């Protein structure tokens, strides 16, 4: 039996209380649920190149229409490696 619980929580109320790993998990969960990067822009990716990664992902999302089929295929293949 699956149980779903819904809560109306303002992300800004909980962010200061989260450590870096918890913030990353929140980012991943929000992205997987289809939330727009504009909300996630307030959160930071972990890692040495976290800011560059965040900027690159936002640029890809914003300019998706300019990607070639090969570009899209490369991104999809990369994402499939991570699952």
Task: In whole angstroms, give the CA distance from residue 82 to residue 32.
Answer: 13
Gap between the Cα atoms of 7 and 22, Å rounded: 18
pLDDT surpasses 90 at 68: yes
Q: What pLDDT score was predicted for residue 55?
A: 81
This prediction has a pTM of: 0.41
Give yes or no for residue 60 having a pLDDT over 70: yes
Contact assessment for residue 64 and residue 70, using Cβ atoms and an 8 Å cutoff: no
User: Do 37 and 58 touch, CB atoms closer than 8 A?
Assistant: yes
Task: Look at residue 22 in the predicted model and tell me its pLDDT.
Answer: 85
What are the tens digits of pLDDT across the range 3-59?
A: 888 878 887 788 888 888 888 888 778 777 877 665 445 555 556 567 788 788 888
């Amino acid at each position: 039996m699956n149980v779903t619980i819904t809560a109306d929580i303002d992300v800004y109320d909980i962010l200061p209380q989260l450590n870096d790993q918890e913030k990353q998990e929140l980012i991943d969960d929000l992205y997987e649920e289809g939330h727009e990067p504009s909300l996630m822009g307030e959160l930071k990716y972990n890692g040495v190149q976290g800011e560059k990664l965040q900027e690159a992902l936002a640029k890809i999302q914003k300019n998706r229409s300019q990607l070639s089929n090969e570009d899209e295929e490369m991104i999809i293949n990369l994402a499939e490696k991570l699952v």
